[in-house]
Chain A
């Protein structure tokens, strides 16, 4: 059953429980424009490289790609501070990059090598960094965790907030509403972000949710619905939300209307529940990188040639990272039993058979 196409119309933010809105115009310097372009292009090419490596069976297991959603990750990170905190679900590679993890470390985590950001022990869904708590595999579980991170900021009197991200597929989880409740009651500095890419695995939003206005689902929590394909919209809306939250007014919910070109994961061709036409249409009318390119060229901030040079540089960087990720050794066998406990107990870990008592470290 194919549902009608989704043109993802350009429009101003929709508001819920708010009297003011993010600005409808924003300024972008040349430096910022080129930065956002490079960041989005890096994520795009990194994800396409991951697709390639997965098909070559160098990446195994789960691999959920972010291409199409780049404006979300890039817009958010450019509106918050490195001292702010962020947590998301399993579609994490682009976010991990924006949180400061190098492409090399991301790709070699995907290929399960010791140079990976989790030394090969986490894989696609479990990438962590400074003020960045993954990378979480259980749908929706990261949202109460994010509220807890926000709680810790307020408890310690810090100025920082936590961005807790989830998708349209997770949006009906009970624990998310529990997190909303506590965040509002205790005025936690938490920015809930629903990345609505229209499909929860193979289920379109209309078939999954009785109420698809995800920005309103926080009920008493003010919400905004934002064009998630436009990096400037995302940046401005995030800044607006962050200012609100930092002023101590409590949490906010931001729905980013976006789209993923790949299926849910590499196991999903992504065309049994949507048409190729729909995917093509989004690519031609709403691609986040194209939108920014048009803006940069149209406003004279950059040129087609200059952007092509950036493309070439990005491809080179990704290729280098990929070389590393496919040649770096796998973790040493002794890593099997490391990082079980922080406060070690000098106990032995039972192996496959009773005579294999492995040393914990």
Chain B
């Protein structure tokens, strides 16, 4: 609460602070400063005080850190007007979105992932520029496909791409969307995709109830893409439990590649097991 408030105050007084939470689990104590002091001040002051602060840190499950250090806060912060909430997956996202967040004049919650810190990605030429920015509020289609839309954010985007590769062998062509932005949520990109593929799966590491997937499904129901669905949308999420420590239990607490494959296969073929010979 102390240093989060200090960062917000410094932002109100003209600086561009970056406040790091060792993990977002600790932000729960400081959440008043994030939501009430940072998120709402522009509105309450009718525009006279803006808050260009970035809150960053690892979010969601890591490995073996147990229940109090494994929560995903995308839904909690995504719920609140006045905040912008970003969730990068790869190096391109991390660089482009973080710079955009810092340069943005509003409070941004930047949800990183500890297990992704050490994963290398190729960076295209233009991404190496110091002014490389990605737009806040725009999702990115990582893989185009015809049969099913798979929407995810953060680390599980990688799992979705792996699942897509495996499913391609069974003749199932996945379109994988990397949300990049939780708030604002780019439903236009998701809707456009669903209107093409007629099938939707959301994938997230966080808990199922009141989560990112829940929001996407509700929005699809309210928008133009509903009429294009050939099956109800499915959410693939973390299990609705505090995170256990034992490795075998932890492994089955969150979505794995095989869960995504199974969900897509079941939606499109009605079967959970593959009949593919490859």
Task: Report which A residues bind B (CB closer than 8 A).
Answer: 85, 87, 118-122, 126, 128-129, 133-138, 141, 143-153, 155-156, 162, 174-175, 177-179, 181-182, 335, 338-343, 345, 347, 349, 354
Q: Which of A129, A152, A354 contacts B13 (CB 8 A)?
A: A152
Whether B222 contacts A341 by the Cβ 8 Å rule is no
Q: Which residues of A contact B13 (CB under 8 A)?
A: 85, 133, 148-149, 151-153, 162
Question: Which among A137, A153, A345 is the interface contact of B184 at CB below 8 angstroms?
Answer: A345
Q: Which of B4-12, B70-78, B230-238 sits within the interface? A: B4-12
Given known contacts A138-B36, A152-B15, A147 and B49 CB-to-CB distance under 8 angstroms: no
Across the interface, do B48 and A175 meet the contact criterion of CB distance under 8 Å? no
Q: Within 8 Å of chain A (Cβ to Cβ): is B44?
A: yes
Nearest to B51 among chain A residues (CB) is A342
**Chain B interface residues (CB < 8 Å from chain A):** 1-15, 17, 32-33, 36-37, 41-50, 52, 81-82, 84, 104-106, 136-137, 184, 222-223
Please measure, in the bound complex, the distance between the C-alpha atom of A105 and the C-alpha atom of B11, giving whole angstroms.
Answer: 26
Contact B1 A151 (CB under 8 A): no
Instruction: Point out the residue from A137, A155, A335 that lies within 8 Å of B15, measured CB to CB.
Output: A155
List 10 additional A-B contacts (Cβ < 8 Å) besides A144-B8, A155-B10.
Answer: A121-B43, A137-B36, A144-B2, A147-B2, A148-B13, A151-B6, A182-B2, A341-B105, A345-B136, A349-B81
- What is the distance, in angstroms, from B15's C-beta to the closest C-beta of chain A? 5
Given contacts A126-B44, A181-B2, A343-B104, contact A133 B50 (CB under 8 A): no
Contacting residue for B43 out of A87, A135, A340, CB 8 A: A340
Determine the residue in chain A with the shortest Cβ distance to B185.
A347
Decide if B33 touches A339 in the complex (CB within 8 Å): no
What residues on A are CB-neighbors of B1 within 8 Å?
A: 141, 144, 174-175, 178
Can you name the residue of chain A whose Cβ is closest to the Cβ of B223?
A354
**Structural contact, B9 and A339, CB atoms closer than 8 A:** no
Residues of chain A lying within 8 A (CB to CB) of residue B9:
87, 133, 144-152, 162
Q: Is the CB of B105 within 8 A of A138?
A: no
Q: How far is the CB of A353 from chain B (nearest CB, A)?
A: 9
Task: Kindly state the separation between the CA atoms of A146 and B104 in the bound complex, as whole angstroms.
Answer: 23
Residue contacts A-B, CB under 8 angstroms, 29 given: A118-B45, A122-B44, A129-B48, A136-B37, A137-B36, A141-B1, A141-B32, A143-B5, A144-B2, A144-B8, A145-B5, A145-B37, A147-B2, A147-B6, A148-B7, A148-B8, A148-B11, A151-B15, A156-B15, A174-B2, A175-B5, A178-B1, A179-B6, A182-B6, A338-B46, A340-B42, A340-B81, A342-B42, A342-B50
Q: Which residue of B is nearest A137, CB measured?
A: B36
User: Which residues of chain A have C-beta atoms less than 8 A from B37's C-beta?
Assistant: 136, 138, 141, 145
Q: CA separation between A208 and B164, bound complex, in Å?
A: 61
Q: How far does the Cβ of B63 sit from chain A's closest Cβ, in whole Å?
A: 31
Report how far A128 CA is from B7 CA in the complex, Å: 19
Number of A-B contacts (CB under 8 A): 147
| Cβ–Cβ contact A340 & B82, under 8 A | yes
User: A178-B1, A181-B2 known; A134 and B8 CB under 8 Å?
Assistant: no
B84 cross-chain contacts in A, Cβ below 8 A = 341
Q: Across the interface, which residues of A come within 8 angstroms of B106, CB to CB?
A: 341-343
Q: Which residues of A contact B136 (CB under 8 A)?
A: 345
Cβ A179 vs Cβ B2 within 8 A: yes
CA separation between A341 and B13, bound complex, in Å? 17
Q: Please name all residues of chain A whose beta carbon is closer than 8 Å to the beta carbon of B104 when the two chains form the complex.
A: 343
Contacting residues, chain B, for A153 (C-beta < 8 A): 13
A16 to chain B, nearest CB (A): 21
Give, as a whole number of angstroms, the nearest-CB distance from A337 to chain B: 9
Most buried by A among B9, B42, B44, B48: B9
Inter-chain contact A156/B42, CB cutoff 8 Å: no
- Residues of B close to A146: CB separation below 8 A: 9
Assembled-state Cα–Cα distance A202/B155 (Å): 50
Complex-state Cα separation, A150 to B43, whole angstroms: 23
* A128 touching B6, Cβ below 8 Å: no
Sort A-B residue pairs by CB-CB distance and give the 3 closest, nearest first.
A148-B9, A178-B2, A144-B5
| Interface residue from B3, B12, B46 paired with A149 (Cβ < 8 Å) | B12
- Residues of B with C-beta under 8 A to A87: 9
B contact residues around A174 at 8 Å (CB): 1-2
- Minimum CB–CB distance from A73 to chain B (whole Å) comes to 20
Minimum Cβ distance to chain B for residue A2 (Å): 35
User: Are B14 and A182 within 8 A (Cβ)?
Assistant: no
Contact A141 B33 (CB under 8 A): yes
CB distance from B75 to the nearest CB of A (A): 16
B193 CB to nearest chain A CB (Å): 18
Which of chain A's residues have a CB closer than 8 A to the CB of B2?
144, 147, 174-175, 177-179, 181-182
* Cβ–Cβ contact A343 & B44, under 8 A: no
Q: Which residue of A lies closest to B2 (CB)?
A: A178
Q: Which residues of B contact A145 (CB under 8 A)?
A: 5-6, 8-9, 12, 33, 37
State whether A178 and B3 are in contact (beta carbons under 8 Å apart), knowing that A138-B32, A147-B9 are contacts in the complex.
Answer: yes
Q: When chains A and B are docked, how far (Å) is the Cα of A141 from the Cα of B44?
A: 16
Inter-chain contact B45/A141, CB cutoff 8 Å: no
